[in-house]
Structure 1
Amino acid sequence: MHLLRPEFRQALMLVCVSGVSNEEAADICECREGTIKSRVNRGKQQLLSILGYPDRHTAFDPRTGPAPNVTPRAHSALLMPASESHVLSVLIT
């Protein structure tokens, strides 16, 4: 998460991890709700890219395991603490 742009990280943490609504996150970040939605989406894409996934559709599926093209860096994400694992699961849903 620390590799993400700060505004993407903040939006992801508020909306995806803390469960804050887009409207509430917009108030906290002092921006428009559409900006929060964009930051969450871009943050998800950036984080998946950092982990070595080309897009959301080739990411880890708990039923079948990692996609065949998953890099070692992304495999290490599967061993992360539960809170970070939750973030990864949010990214692919």
Structure 2
Amino acid sequence: MNLSLEQASPLVGTNFTIHTQAGLIDLQLIDVAELPRRNIPEQFRTPLSLVFTGPPDILLLQDIYLVEHAELGQHQWLMGPILSINPGVNDNKLYYEIMFA
């Protein structure tokens, strides 16, 4: 699936279910952003970032996960942990990103 900014933006605040070896984990989509193209040739898409928060007690490592959403269906996407989007603030959450490039 080639997810676009227009498709993803309305989903901010909704939960995505991640299928893991430990079972199902819900992550909340908190940010969607197109990233600078930085001389990417025109035939390639504009990079798109999806940022999620998850429970503080389960760390998901970078891997390809089956990601499920009521409106998008099921897809296998590469997801990895990232640093907090609020530097210096301990909000007791883990953050993850899925990048489309």
* Pair in the same fold by TM > 0.5: no
| TM score, norm. by length of structure 2 | 0.23
Return the structure number with greater strand share: 2
| TM score, norm. by length of structure 1 | 0.24
Return the structure number with greater helix share: 1
